[in-house]
Amino acid sequence: MNEHDAILAALERIATQAPPPDRVVANLSARIRAHRQRRALLTLGGAAAVGVPAFIVLRPDQAGPGPGPAPASAGPDPSPRPGNTWAPMLFRPTWLPDGVTEVSRVGHKGDEPGQSRIWADDIYRRWAETFKDETLRESRFVGVDVKRAAELATRGPVSPPVDVLGGEPNTTVGDHPAYVTDPDDDLAEVTWLVDNLLIKVTVSPAAGGYDAALRVARSVVPDRTSRVEVGFSLRWLPARFGRTGWRVTSSVTATKWSQQLVSLHDDFMVVGLHSPGFFPTSDTNPDDTQITVRGRQGTLSDGVLLVELADGSWLRVGAGNRTEAVRIANDLIIGQPAYRGWVGTR
Amino acid sequence: MTFDEYLATRVSALLRFATVVACDPHLAEDVVQDVLVRAHGRWSRIAAMEQPEAYLKRMVVNECLRSRRRTRRTVLLAHDSLDAASPRLLDHAGAYGERDDLARRIAALPPKQRAVVALRYYDGRTDAEIAEYLGCREGTVRAHASRALATLRAALSPSTVHGRS
């Protein structure tokens, strides 16, 4: 046996451990469907993290604009309102494809910088209410996500930053090497690094795909005036959450809205305020535990507490156990309506 | 060939190829499923290519390398697992130990070196083709191969290295 044959024999042996094809094929249909939803959900930032649609029914005065020319940027956000929780936005594009306006913001509160913003069209907004795959493919949306490049924090910048970008740099954004995904892919993605922050621009095929993604990416600038705000704040938390950071999310469609705080570290926790109608009473499970929270009747199921507030909005708390969920909900401060003047602007 | 026809006839070979590249059957399963999910959405274009399977294998290789980078998983095939995969009785005693050691050394290679070895020896690709797969120069492929072989030769007997049977 020569060297070539010996290596081939060893590789053949490794190949015998391949998983059974029947199992792979059997799982494929579900994966195809899940993949499409996941790709879209990933662009929803915090919404995906909690595993539930982040969109709920908007009151008419809260809805974004209908079809027609999108208004220009609303300008700098006003100061956060008392009793609310907020996080800064980090970057924004100065060029966007036609037909998209901002529908979702996610920021990080704490020491871990991060951002996820989405500009989308009406098709996307309708899709976000139904999550039917076929409509998503036709929709226009742009995402601008930012996160700390963790690997660089410990070993310093490298060039080219292949490990972090996800591929060999094949383009540039400003002076930065960047990686743009295969234009045949469903979504075009451009990733690059700025001061140890990984920026990713995602553009749907209907919004221009590869070309638009590069143009959006090259228009991205620091954003020092925008925020994401939720209309509540937490007054009590279990001790283990004392040092955690939070993902602050605010998302809307043409008819729905949702605001949430999601823990970034430690145990998982999500606290959300959702518009009326988001949790239809017809969905109530008779097996859920009935519980009184904030003087109102709510339900508790699998550690998730849900209660309809006096104004018809819903408070949802997912915590480690019943005792914690109830105390968090009871002690939580409902602030003022969170600023959403950015909705429907570019 | 339709997507379903491909699944019925070729997915087994793709899984074996992915297992060789990843040296991890679990990762191979994930990668192949991911690749097929993505391929499904553009199957008409892939099927129209001159070599659809080569395109899918390229996706598999890139996905394996990306998955490695992202998860930083270091997976070595367990000795017991290797034993189970190949009946000892069917093997020549001397070659068995050598091949067993060689398989573990292949599994321990850096991902790109292993990808080069898999493409060159298992898939029979030329250095030029491998360079295209990996998006690098032929010289880089040869460098990866050289380093990999230096590692693997430590597991081979002198007679095997020098091509004597």
Q: Does A30 touch chain B (CB under 8 A)?
A: no
Q: Does A15 touch chain B (CB under 8 A)?
A: yes
Q: Does A6 touch chain B (CB under 8 A)?
A: yes
Please answer whether residues A45 and A106 qualify as being in contact, where contact means their C-beta atoms are separated by less than 8 angstroms: yes
Q: Is the pLDDT of residue A105 over 90?
A: yes
- The per-residue pLDDT of chain B, averaged, comes to 74
Residue A189 CA to residue A199 CA, distance in Å, equals 10
A66-to-A259, B17, B24 alpha-carbon distances in Å: 21, 51, 51
Q: How confident is the model at residue A279 (pLDDT cuts 50, 70, 90)?
A: confident
List the single residue in A1, A4, A18 with the smallest CB-CB distance to B121.
Answer: A4
Q: Can you point out the beta strands (E) in A225-341?
A: 227-230, 232-233, 246-252, 257-263, 270-274, 289-293, 296-301, 304-308, 314-318, 333-334
Contacts of A162 in chain B (CB under 8 A): 69
DSSP-assigned beta bridge partners for residue A109: A246
Average pLDDT over residues A71-76: 65
Residue carrying the six token digits 């979504």? A187
Ranges of each domain in chain A: 1-346
Interchain contact, B29 vs A23, CB within 8 Å:
yes
Task: Give the pLDDT score at A332.
Answer: 95
Is ipTM > 0.85 here? Answer: no
Task: Give the pLDDT score at B165.
Answer: 35
Percent of chain B, pLDDT > 90?
Answer: 21
Q: Tell me which of B41 and B3 has the higher pLDDT.
A: B3
Predicted confidence (pLDDT) per residue in A231-258, tens digit: 999 999 888 787 778 889 998 876 778 8
Q: How far is B128 from chain A (nearest CA, A)?
A: 18
Q: How confident is the model at residue B118 (pLDDT cuts 50, 70, 90)?
A: very high
Q: Does A321 touch chain B (CB under 8 A)?
A: no
Predicted confidence (pLDDT) per residue in B50-99, tens digit: 888 888 998 899 888 876 544 332 222 333 333 333 332 223 333 344 45
Q: Does B71 touch chain A (CB under 8 A)?
A: no
Average pLDDT over residues B21-35: 88
Average pLDDT over residues A66-92: 78
Interchain contact, A24 vs B33, CB within 8 Å:
yes
